[in-house]
Amino acid sequence: MSAAPLQLPHLEGVEAAKRAAAYAAVDNHVNHTHKIIGVGSGSTVPYVVERIVQQGANVNADRWFVPTGFQSKELIIKSGLRLGDVDNYPEIDVTIDGADEVDSKLNCIKGGGACHLREKVLAEAAATFIVVADYRKESKLLGDNWKQGVPVEVAEFAYAKVLRQLVKMGSTNAVLRMGKMKAGPVVTDNGNFVIDAAFPEAVMRDPQDLLQRIKLLTGVLEVGLFCNMAKAAYFGNQDGTITSKLVDGTVKSGVVFDVTKSPAQTS
């Protein structure tokens, strides 16, 4: 006998797209043998956690969930899941995270929420790193959609020097990210500042090279370019379908995904 459909809140547009992408990613990449799970940041990730909770209390009882920042830490705790840390669990089975933009090779811009340092640690620590997003994040070339620039986390005392170096490196617009409803700059969960550095298309064509050059600037903690890290990306589309892209180039578009169908449960 098949399980009764899940009673889910009705969502429309972008929110429905995020939920579908997140659910599909969990169903395809978080299986019951996975015990250490990295939980990313952003507005799509709550749906990832929602789907993991739907896998059942039984399967989640002996899992540990490692957060990429304050937001995901709260999410894990409020969902009744066990909170771990990368100190205890430096090897993660699977990390699922959002993104600001994903190119056709699954390179990403991340850090719109200033979480990219911890996010990259958890992506690198994971055997499998999966990205979830809505259709607005999918592009051919990084920078096509995300115009804010590459997020660069810097030590507070080094920001002016790094900002100057980013401009010399060709950034057309490098700015210290300022807080909203707060006087002064954004301070990350690690106590650092963030510079958003936009680069011309010619530079963005080789994100790996740009990443390496920025990373070498003293004072830079991490760059929000995630190159050759994701194994798969899931995008929720406007029409309710999803698109999945694997790192081997496999693309499935227009996939109908029924979010009301329960994930497989363990007894």
Q: Hey, which residues are catalytic here?
A: 119
Query: Are the C-beta atoms of residues 81 and 52 closer than 8 Å to each other?
Result: yes
Residue 107 touches ligand R5P, criterion: CB under 6 A: no
Q: Decide if 135 contacts 238 (C-beta within 8 A).
A: yes
d(CA 98, CA 102): 10
Judged by CB under 6 A, the stretch of 34-42, 166-174, 196-204, 255-263 that binds ligand R5P is 34-42
Taken in order 83, 94, 229, 254, is the CA torsion positive or negative?
Answer: negative
Instruction: Report in angstroms how near the CB of residue 233 gets to ligand R5P at its nearest.
Output: 12
Q: Which residues of 141-157 are buried (b: 16+ CB within 10 A; e: fewer)?
A: ebbebbebbbbbbbbee
Whats the size of the chain, residue-wise?
A: 267
Q: Which stretch binds ligand R5P (CB under 6 A): 6-14, 57-65, 107-115, 189-197?
A: 107-115
Contact 232, 127 (CB under 8 A): no
Handedness of CA 46, 82, 97, 119 (dihedral sign): positive
Q: Which is nearer to ligand R5P, 42 or 219 (CB)?
A: 42
Nearest to 110 by CA among 219, 229, 192: 229
Using CB under 6 A as the binding rule, whether residue 100 contacts ligand R5P is answered as yes
| Residue of 22, 37, 81, 99 interacting with ligand R5P (CB under 6 A) | 99
Give the number of residues in contact with ligand R5P, rule: CB under 6 A: 17
Q: In a 10 Å sphere around its CB, with 0-12 CB exposed, 13-18 middle and 19+ buried, how is residue 41 labelled?
A: buried
Stretch that binds ligand R5P, among 4-12, 76-84, 108-116, 168-176 (CB under 6 A): 108-116
Residue 43 engages ligand R5P in binding (rule: CB under 6 A): yes
Contact 236, 244 (CB under 8 A): no
Q: Is 143 in the site for ligand R5P (CB under 6 A)?
A: no
44 binds ligand R5P (CB under 6 A): yes
Q: Which of 16, 25, 36, 42 binds ligand R5P (CB under 6 A)?
A: 42
- Told to check if 114 binds ligand R5P by CB under 6 A, we report yes
Contact segment (CB under 6 A) with ligand R5P among 56-64, 109-117, 211-219, 247-255 equals: 109-117
Q: Does 98 bind ligand R5P (CB under 6 A)?
A: yes
- Point out which residues bind ligand R5P (CB under 6 A): 40-44, 97-100, 110-116, 119
